[in-house]
Amino acid sequence: MDGDRVNEYATKFLKQESEIQSLSAELEGLKNPQRSSPSCRLDELREENSRLQYRLNILKRSLQDEPPHCGTAMMNINQRLQEIFGRAIRASCPELDSPPLSVTPNQQAKFGDYQCNSAMAMAQLLKAKGLKVNPREIAEKIIQNIPENELIQKTEIAGPGFINIHLKRSFVSRLLSNLLVNGVQPPPLASKKRVVVDFSSPNIAKEMHVGHLRSTIIGESMCRLFEFLGYDVLRLNHVGDWGTQFGMLIAHLQDKFPNYLAVSPPIGDLQAFYKESKKRFDEEDDFKKRAYQCVVRLQSKEPDFIKAWNLICDVSRKEFQKVYDCLDVHIIERGESFYQDLMTEVVKEFDDKGLTEMDEGRKIVFAPGQPIPLTVVKSDGGYTYDTSDLAALRQRIFDEKADIIIYVTDSGQGPHFQLVFAAAKMIGWYDPQVTRVEHAGFGVVLGEDKKKFKTRSGDTVRLMDLLDEGLKRSMDKLREKERDKVLTPEELTKAQRSVAFGCIKYADLSHNRINDYVFSFDKMLDDRGNTAAYLLYALTRIRSIARLANVDEATLRKAAQSVEVLLDHDKEWKLGKCILRFPEILQKILDDLLLHPLCDYLYELATTFTEFYDSCYCVEKDRHTGNEPPPRRTSHVIPQWCVPA
């Protein structure tokens, strides 16, 4: 709209401007100054054009203030600054092919809101080319080349050549209003991509351990991230449900519960059942033979054997589901058995392309750049973990048509995935420029003694026991804080679960997943520091302000359309800018697939909110009447920040 008006005014302005010029020329050339007509017309035109010029300037300014169109999505301020500075840097230094671009948010307000640190690195690069230029001079040049834009108020050079960037308050205020009106929206998606996340993936008949807990928590969060961004996500539980151990399990099942085809056997403790069958497998020759026969009959899909196998899988499934229910995890089971037939095809494809070799009875594949080969067929003719992952990858690329495939397992499996990815690229299944295939590895879970996480007796910790312990600890904490005195029993149980499971998940997510991480209930339940307990506390506080101020989301949305978000106070300004950094954080975690920056950001947001709340008085209840007095900072503070989630 405003753009059209600018054009219209500008055309008129230019037309009149040229008329003014020709009239002035005519006037100059006139011998007889008494003839007044051109001069009157000239005065008229001059006056009208000065008015037009004024209106044009206003319109141009408001156009500059208008953020570029990105629908209802939140704008990534850092990205926008990178675009602007990228252009300025290229224009000021044509000698460098790809000059370094660095724009980062500033923690200390006195240095501006963002900072561009490219000048120093550029000076270094120029020096290497034999050109000696002072970084401050480069910074000056960059500033001269900054194109017209909607968000920068001013820039200044500091120290050896830092450029401090100050944002326009009106711009930040408008973005905040947009956010209130539209809600938190993901950035616009160029195209809807299909993502497969392979996570959790415990092994049937074995206990789910803390490594699987990490995979479950990290994988679930990655899925939520992709879903929030609008991707089409397939959550896959690649359970270990196929393999030789099923032979002995089935043989033992036949002995223990001969009636298993008619009545479901009451296997309460699959772990114990597994141990018993393993003992027999190691000690009884006949049993061992029968176990091997069972594997063959299972793999040839004899109905009775499939039934036995299903019964065993069901017992495990129920156990896994208990953990998923506690942690609110949603996942589709598609275990190794799903790929059984595809494995035969995969081996054939490698054979046909001449990529396999025999090595002491095994069939192996060497992939470029890999120190060891993949084993695709064992000497007994069986397939391996390598074969099943090759088949799974091929199925995900060609049948699922995935654009992004992520495997969330401990870092120890890194070499295995590198082998599989290298073999898949070699055979031409995918081009890494087009399809993103990544192993998102994580470190081991340590006890507070910094040793591998174990029970006191040295056994692996059962996940359900761990979650139960979390519930107990969280209830102790709630009681210590006398929450049991104010909450109903139902509310107390709800709070207990939110605190326990929220803290366990957050503790995992807030650490860089690559590192080993120390599991400590005391730390994760501490309500000071970067913990879920602290964030839950901050959220509760915000909600209680909203309750006290009697505002809900609809009121806020409506108010935001007419009331300007004022950012006069330092703490308001700081909080406003912090809120708007969300799209920048999203982009970062999407690029690196590391989730801890999101936790760091949430923690920063919560502490910035607390600072704001402590210095900018929101609402206060009258201690005697329980009523709220009129808010002090009517126009902005109260309703607008107190978004009930």
User: For binding to ligand ARG (CB under 6 A), which residues are involved?
Assistant: 198, 201-203, 238, 240, 389, 392, 407, 409
Nearer to ligand ARG by Cβ, of 112 and 219: the residue is: 219
Nearer residue to ligand ARG within complex by CB, 117 or 201: 201
C-alpha torsion angle, residues 137, 143, 144, 148 (rounded to 10): 170
Report, in Å, the least distance between residue 598 CB and ligand ARG: 24
Whole-angstrom distance, CA of residue 176 vs CA of residue 233: 30
Least CB distance to ligand ARG at residue 332 (A):
14
How many alpha carbons fall within 13 Å on the CB side of residue 294? 27
- Answer whether 635's CB lies under 8 Å from 563's CB: yes
CB of 177 to ligand ARG, least distance (A): 46
- Nearest distance, CB of residue 310 and ligand ARG, angstroms: 19
Q: Please, what is the minimum distance in Å from the beta carbon of residue 342 to ligand ARG?
A: 13
Residue with smaller CB distance to ligand ARG, 111 or 385: 385
Supply angle C-alpha 317, 466, 272, rounded to 5.
Answer: 50
Residue nearest to ligand ARG (CB): 201
Q: How far is the CB of 392 from ligand ARG (least distance, A)?
A: 6
Closest distance to ligand ARG from the beta carbon of 409 (Å): 5
Chain-centroid distance, C-alpha 487: 34
Report DSSP letters for 474-530, one per residue: HHHHHHHTTGGGTS-HHHHHHHHHHHHHHHHHHHHHTS-TTS-EE--HHHHT-SSSS
What DSSP character marks residue 435?
S
Minimum separation from the CB atom of position 128 to ligand ARG (A): 45
Helix, strand, or coil (residue 292): helix
Buried b (16+ CB within 10 A) or exposed e, 448-464: eeeeebeeeeeebbbbe
Distance CA 418, CA 438 (A): 9
The CB-of-390 to ligand ARG minimum distance in angstroms stands at 10
C-alpha dist (Å) from residue 194 to 369, 396, 400, 435, 515: 29, 10, 8, 10, 29
The nearest distance, CB 503 to ligand ARG, in angstroms, is 25
How many Cβ atoms are within 10 Å of 207's Cβ, its own excluded? 18
Task: In angstroms, give the least distance from the CB of 198 to ligand ARG.
Answer: 5
Q: Identify which of 460, 503, 498 has the alpha carbon closest to the alpha carbon of residue 202.
A: 460
Q: Which is nearer to ligand ARG, 162 or 421 (CB)?
A: 421
* Residues 239, 323 contacting (CB under 8 angstroms): no
Nearer to ligand ARG, 445 or 495 (CB): 445
Question: Quick one: 85 or 407, whose CB is closer to ligand ARG?
Answer: 407
DSSP-derived secondary structure for 53-97: HHHHHHHHHHHHHSPPP-TTSPP-HHHHHHHHHHHHHHHH-TT-S
Contacts of 64 (CB under 8 A, 6+ apart): 148, 149, 150
Nearer to ligand ARG, 440 or 586 (CB): 440
| Complex with ligand ARG: residue 170 or 203, whichever CB lies closer | 203
**Nearer to ligand ARG among residue 205 and residue 586 (C-beta):** 205
Close Cβ partners of 132 (under 8 Å, ≥ 6 residues apart)? 126
Of the two residues 74 and 208, which places its CB atom closer to ligand ARG in the complex? Answer: 208
CB-nearer residue toward ligand ARG: 409 or 640 = 409
- The minimum distance between CB 219 and ligand ARG, in angstroms, equals 10
Helices within 108-235 (DSSP H only): 118-128, 135-144, 169-182, 210-228
8 A C-beta contact, residue 78 and residue 114: yes
Q: Would you say 333 or 351 has its CB closer to ligand ARG? A: 333
- When the beta carbons of 48 and 410 are compared against ligand ARG, the nearer one is 410
Q: How many CA atoms lie within 13 A of 393 on its CB side?
A: 28
